Amino acid sequence: MALEFEIKRWSNFRKALKSRKEVEAFDELMDMCRSLASAGGSATNPILFEPMVMSILVTQQKRLQKLDYILSKAT
């Protein structure tokens, strides 16, 4: 519930994004936070935004690793 509250706090930022691609990117980032919410909840940190950013970073790193693997097989 705290995560959804934090995401809702960013709704004005989301509304201010200029293109649909930016809104889609923002929504995807928030979905990354949701996908790792249990890990974020395990962090002993009162600032909710930090586990959100870490969730995004972990998900992006997994994507990079997958792309690296695909590219290494192609060469």
pLDDT of residue 31: 92
**Residue 46: band (very low, low, confident or very high) from pLDDT cuts 50, 70, 90:** low
Here the tokens at position 26 are 């923002």
pLDDT of residue 44: 67
Domain extent for 28: 2-74
* Element of type H or E holding 6: helix 2-9
CB 9 within 8 A of CB 32: no
Number of domains present in the structure of the chain:
1
Instruction: Give the N- to C-terminal CA distance of the chain in Å, as an integer.
Output: 45
